[in-house]
Amino acid sequence: MHVLKVSSRSRSTAVAGAIAGVVRDHGRAEVQAIGAGAVNQAAKAVAIAISYLQTDGLDVVCIPAFIDVTIADQERTAIKFVIEPR
């Protein structure tokens, strides 16, 4: 599974293009974000990627979930978006 990590400084259109590319090549993508700004950028990117994929005739859904990740020996809670075909 390809995991795309999004920060608050990520450009949503660039992330959307990456999501669409991964879904086209591998059938599904996973996006992770920690923090309000990063989750905002990730959510916008997912919405844009869905529209990119719809123009290609791909019908996808986004499944959000909480996950625990370890960063610098600290447990953090992240939001995970899985984008896969319907």
| 20-75 residue pLDDT tens | 999 999 999 999 999 999 999 999 999 999 999 999 999 999 999 999 999 899 99
**2: pLDDT confidence band, cut at 50, 70 and 90?**
confident
**Which residue range forms the structural domain that includes residue 59?**
3-85
Count of beta carbons in the 10 Å neighbourhood of residue 22: 20
Question: Do 8 and 35 form a contact (C-beta atoms < 8 A)?
Answer: yes
Dig out the tokens for 81 from the structure: 């978006």
The domain total for the chain is 1
- 3-class state of residue 21 by DSSP: helix
Give the DSSP H/E element, type plus range, for residue 45: helix 36-55
- The CATH number linked to 18 is 3.30.110.20
Q: The pTM is what?
A: 0.91
**16: pLDDT confidence band, cut at 50, 70 and 90?**
very high
